[in-house]
Amino acid sequence: MIKFIHNRLLILFVLSASAVITNRSLSESVDYFTDNGFANAISTLQHPTAEFFKGTTYIAYQGPNQDAYVCAYNHVTQNWTGPFLAGLSPMRAKSIPIDNSKVDNHGKPAMFVDTKGYIHLVYGAHGGSAIMGSDSFGTPGKGKMIHIVSKYPQDITSWVELDNISHFGTYTQFVKLDNGTVYLFYRHGSHRSDWVYQKSTDDGRTFAPVVSILKHKVTKKSSVQDSWYAWFAKGKGDTISAEYVYHPCADAPKHSNGRFNTYYMRMDCKDDSWDNVQGVKMITPLTKEYADKNTLIEYSGKTKTNHGVCRYDENGYPHLYFFHGKGQLEYQQWTGTAWTKATTVMPSGGGSGDIIVDSPTSTRLLLISSPAKNTAELGWWKTTDSGLTWSKGSVIYTVTDDASDGLETGTLVQNYTQDGMIVLSQRVSKTNLFRKMSLMGVNGAVKRPLNEASQITDILKEMGDLPENAWSAKGKIKAAQSKINVDNPEP
């Protein structure tokens, strides 16, 4: 069924938010394009977050109450459009949560722009609700995976729903080939689920059935199941790279978020087969035992790992990083015959970011780091000797207040430009879950007039600044939620 989603209430909401700005100059420009990002508004695991297409960058993110929002920046006119509410999340609450533990955060949107200029989003699920039934590829969880597309090309004001993908899934990732073929990768349920993909050759209007890649199954210890966290991206030519980590998913109360080992393989999109890094064809879906034998980069023992990002050089060889231990960011690359030794990029770990490979020996990482207490930076780290040594480059953006621990990026903007390279999310304050959203270029943030960028925080300010402990005062909380929810009706 195709569903039209109306944005008139949202437009009125934006106008009302702008109207309450009384103490600051309307002509003032700020470093963010909106402040209505919500909780974990973006991540590198749901990607792309944004794409540049015919002079405009389109950005998708999680807005108030986990709903999907879209904004756009025209690089020619230097004007912003939006944000517009694109779709209501099936996991939204009756009123906007004030505690991040009450927010699921798994249903944030991934997006792509098709060859005709239509913008596509998939969002809304952490596995998919059990009320929809069950699926052999995984265990149901919450929500419903929804695919929406803009009603008109290069227009973010109105959207329709396409019921053409599985409703079970999370961690959605789009990979678009040069010929327009689109792959949608995701975990097909909650923790105990296969990682799968669906393929479209008609600009996302239809998708082929689900194909399993990484298999979940019960281990010899029946209380533990094999599970995975994976990250996919376009490689050289018609290839797709996959890096992943292993998650032994234990029954409660012993369940943890522990992830271990590091793995890599590559899809040949000519026949959708998978190779390991040596070029040997894989049998899919891969079991834990088969992956250990054929695609393992490093066995981590009891040391925890987490996925990072993988890009490729002119030879088609992968350059990647994973997180090890307590967030230590470690880089490796394939030389054609072996993996280089894992090296630490920065002294104190690192946050989210992405990779730009300039040559087989020269690579840049754009990362969040924390050089001092209450300080966070988005900046460059570079190697010219295949990762043996790293040097700190220029800093693009710095935060030096109590909101600094809330900095997060998406992946690089697809087809990025110098003045629109990566999307950044920054905590507004400790008193609420809203986030300032910025589009960062090599010279810093792309500016926007304050009266256009202010969506949420000025509404809260109109009711008076709330000290941190005031969020436990039910009267003020209820008043704030009531005012905001006027334009966020229940689905």
Antiparallel, parallel or unpaired: β 217-218 and 211-214: unpaired
Exposure string over 430-468, b if 16+ CB within 10 A, otherwise e: ebbbbbbbbbbbeeebbbbbbbbbbbbbbbbbeeeebee
Q: Which of 58, 171, 246, 264 is catalytic?
A: 171
Q: Sheet holding 363-372: strands in order across?
A: 353-357, 363-372, 375-383, 391-399
| ∠ CA 61-351-248, rounded to 5° | 90
Percentages helix, strand, coil for the chain (3-state, rounded to 5) are 10, 45, 45
CA–CA gap between residue 112 and residue 129 (Å, rounded):
25
Q: Which of 106, 126, 147, 188 is catalytic?
A: 106
For residue 236, how many other CB atoms are within 10 A of its CB?
Answer: 15
Indicate the SS3 state at residue 42. coil
What DSSP assignment string belongs to 80-131? EEEEEEEE--TT--SS--SSGGG-------EEEE-TTS-EEEEEEEEB-BGG
What DSSP assignment string belongs to 421-461? EEEEEEE--TTSSEEEEEEEETTEEPPEEHHHH-SSHHHHH
Phi, psi of 225, deg, nearest 5? -120, 145
324 annotated active-site = no
Q: E-strand spans in 251-362?
A: 260-268, 273-275, 296-298, 305-312, 318-324, 328-333, 343-344, 353-357
Question: Torsion-angle region of residue 72: left (phi > 0), alpha (psi -120 to 50) or beta?
Answer: beta
Indicate the SS3 state at residue 193. strand
CA–CA gap between residue 189 and residue 126 (Å, rounded):
7
Sequence-distant contacts of 393-396: CB under 8 A, at least 24 apart: 393/364, 396/366, 396/440, 396/441, 396/442, 396/443, 396/444
Cβ atoms 345, 327 nearer than 8 A = no
Indicate the SS3 state at residue 303. coil
Q: Determine which helix (DSSP H) or strand (DSSP E) holds 72, and give its type and residue range.
A: strand 68-74
Cβ atoms 461, 23 nearer than 8 A = no
106 annotated active-site = yes
Which residues share a beta bridge with 395?
379
Cis before residue 347, ω within 30 degrees of 0? no
Q: Which of the residues are catalytic? A: 106, 171
